[in-house]
Structure 1
């Protein structure tokens, strides 16, 4: 009977964990702020129930509790859960290390976060280090160590190339090829952003050509290409090629938040209220998709400042305050 009771508890725990995950997913798609808060609260309560039923021994439940708390910016609570996760998994899974580094980065403890990643790199197999290396590069960028980040990205790309040649058959069997290709695409995108920020246009062009060859994620590729073209021709005014790239990205993936925000920023520069109306619509859509995106809130604040004086001034202040708060607790990579 005791064994049967334990099995029932485990099943109930898994069921509640699934319900918590579903409530969290639903909260990210509803338009009503009131309903969103209710669903987030329900998600946490259900996941906590699942944890109790599993006696705190189910690493999957702990992981989702950690992510949910982190996304709700309950960083101290998330930190305690991720420590439990690492203990349960004995540091054998990279997801725990990466999540810990992201939480520390949200607390602006970049040095500690990088030390965590370095420790994880020492404890994990070399074929599981790719995502850790990308996280490390992001942390180095956040600290202003751009050259170190470029070296880390180079190390990551080299590792992916070796892995591609060495484990070609294994990658096919484990669907690893798609994962590695996605990571390679994202790495080139990160390098594009670095080189454009440094005004190193030839290097950025080389990276851009790499993404065009891979072309695994059309929206992301169009977004990066449009961003770079816009920067290259910024002195000439609005970049029509960038507009085209962003619209192409949105046509292929209407929910691509970076493209929505970038297109809105371009439209803000155009004379005429009709462009502002479209920009406002794009930004609001971006916020509905990702309410923790500080760039979206900041852009919405800019739009409010361009409206006639009145309630828009107060709304602009609220948007800027939200953007500042979210930026203050933003991780170097999304928690989820």
Structure 2
């Protein structure tokens, strides 16, 4: 019974000490344990109300258990609870109540410039290796608990400023924490730096929060530097926090539109990979995350594969993407998604047969009952090979009933592919009647695709004009070629060339040469090869042989410069990585 009474008495005594502490904070006095006497007045009510603010009525009278425990810990360690530590405790209490402005007002009363040198010295001495029987080891000016308390106050000040929309000030407040730790421990936090989990938790939150604040403050370059700072300095981050920062940084690099300068590393291993641009740095981060999952260090996040697919596609590294997908553990992605990604990768790399075989295996599976995209892709691949045209026609006809009336965009693509397949297949037919029937069906399919898109699809317009030209319906072909040139605004070579060749087929050589000259004025010198070759042929058709020789000379000069320039072009550096 006496033990319970003693514990109750200690709690009452500590509560009275806290009240006395709050009363004397405004004067800046330091309170020793033996000098504390009861007081019923709260600093939050007195100091904050004096500035024209108000707190919740009746809340100041309630003692917060966590703050009492913090105060007891501080008092036990140092015997003194100074002005800044008391404000840190009271500010946290107001923050927990939801009084953001009141908490900010209390936090702003902390003299950061005065406490930072003490915090820095305390952290530096805490990080030193203890020496046996050393008399030079002085007691640090602050305990780790006090450091943790003040760091938490600075972090809560930053989050309060963030809630009020003052992002730049919030970022500056958050930077104080990181600058202090880095200057005290230049080589990073030791593994056994502190047994205070609250301090490490506060540091982790500050490291994670700073880039977000800089992004909200519209400072993208500073945000990039803060991300690199978080990843390069040894903060003793837990795996989840580090992985989250790496993913957010990769997303920012890919989609922010900001060009990041290459990182300036103070020390690096010989032969290590140094990213040169946003895409390479994002790929490196995403590959690290992927390998970390394979090693069962983090839970699977499907967006990692999505972002990695985008990044490697932008870089043109489709085979590297295929390799990463093939190495994924079973169950991460479903079979249909895996085969589709691999087929797209192989098709982009020019390995059409490997892509088609994957699609065949997928379409023969019972799991792929509504593989619309896969059927369209298979039909597109078959359209490029004369011996596969019949197979492609089967795929195109199979997909049309599934999408007609549901998705006009996909249906127009399938109709256009069917038209190309029918046109290509008709060339191998001996019977005139059957060939004519196939050609008419091809034109109908292309015209149907044109109507479905409302005449706004340049690919459909190109193939419709080309098919009419091949069937010697030159006036209709010329009409669609002009529509194509108008729709694209002369941005592609194929539109100019198609129009010039149709005019040439109508024996309108002067008009065709004028079109080529206009195209040459709109096109860069590196892309003028096909235009110059067509112009020379038109000059030969008109009997202007000397002009044709001059045009061919110009063409040879362009080709020679192209060979020298592009022959040394390097592809993206392969990103190889070690297991994390």
TM range (shorter): 0.5 to 0.7
Would the aligned equivalents of 1:302 and 1:316 in 2 still touch at CA under 8 Å?
Answer: no
- The size of the alignment, in residue pairs, is 272
Please tell me whether residue 302 in structure 1 is matched to residue 534 in structure 2: yes
Q: Which structure ranks higher in relative contact order (CA pairs < 8 Å, sequence separation ≥ 6)?
A: 1
* Structure-1 residue corresponding to 2:314: 68
Counterpart of 1:248 in structure 2 is: 483
- How has the CA–CA distance of structure 1 residues 119 and 62 changed in structure 2, closer, same or farther, with 3 Å as cutoff? farther
Determine the structure 2 residue equivalent to 1:131.
Answer: 373
Residues 322 and 345 in structure 2, CA contact (< 8 A), matched pair in contact too: yes
What are the residue-to-residue correspondences of 1:257-336 with 2, within 5 Å?
Answer: 258-269=494-505, 270-282=507-519, 297-304=529-536, 308=547, 312-317=551-556
TM-score (norm 1): 0.64
Q: Deviations for 1:267-313, whole angstroms, at most 9, x for unmatched residues?
A: 3454444431313434775x67x97xxxx853543325556256632
Alpha-carbon distance in 2 for matches of 1:233, 1:265? 12
State the distance in 2 between where 1:14 and 1:99 align: 23
> So what's the TM-score if we normalise by structure 2?
0.40
Higher percent of residues as helix? 1
CA contact (8 A) 2:344 2:355 kept: no
Does structure 1 conserve the Cα–Cα contact (< 8 Å) formed by 2:416 and 2:460? no
Partner Cα separation in structure 2 for residue 44 and residue 206 of structure 1: 52
Q: CA RMSD in A?
A: 3.9
Which residue of 329, 346, 354 corresponds with 1:112?
Answer: 354
SS of aligned partner of 1:224: helix
Query: Tell me, which stretches of 5 or more residues in structure 1 are unaligned?
Result: 24-42, 71-76, 172-176, 327-336
Partner Cα separation in structure 2 for residue 284 and residue 154 of structure 1: 44
Distance 1:127 1:299 in 2: 44
Q: Work out whether residues 305 and 312 of structure 1, in 8 Å CA contact, stay in contact via their aligned partners in 2.
A: no
Shift of the 133–149 alpha-carbon distance from structure 1 to 2, 3 Å rule, reads: farther
**Distance apart, 1:259 and its partner CA:** 3.6
User: Structure 1 CA distance, aligned partners of 2:418 and 2:252?
Assistant: 40
- 2:348 pairs with one of 103, 114, 130: 103
Q: How does 1:1-336 map to 2 (within 5 A)?
A: 1=204, 2=238, 3-18=240-255, 45-54=277-286, 55-57=288-290, 58-70=304-316, 77-88=317-328, 89=333, 91-93=335-337, 95-104=340-349, 106=350, 109-122=351-364, 125-128=368-371, 130-145=372-387, 148-161=388-401, 163-164=402-403, 177-195=407-425, 197-198=427-428, 200-214=435-449, 215-217=451-453, 218=455, 219-233=458-472, 239-254=474-489, 255=491, 258-269=494-505, 270-282=507-519, 297-304=529-536, 308=547, 312-317=551-556
Is the contact between residue 268 and residue 303 of structure 1 (CA under 8 Å) also seen in structure 2?
A: no
| Higher Rg of the two aligned structures | 2
Distance 1:245 1:206, change over 3 A: same
Structure 1 residues 19, 306: closer, same or farther in 2, change over 3 A? Answer: farther
- Taking the aligned partners of 1:256 and 1:189, their CA distance within structure 2 comes to 23
Q: How has the CA–CA distance of structure 1 residues 156 and 87 changed in structure 2, closer, same or farther, with 3 Å as cutoff?
A: farther
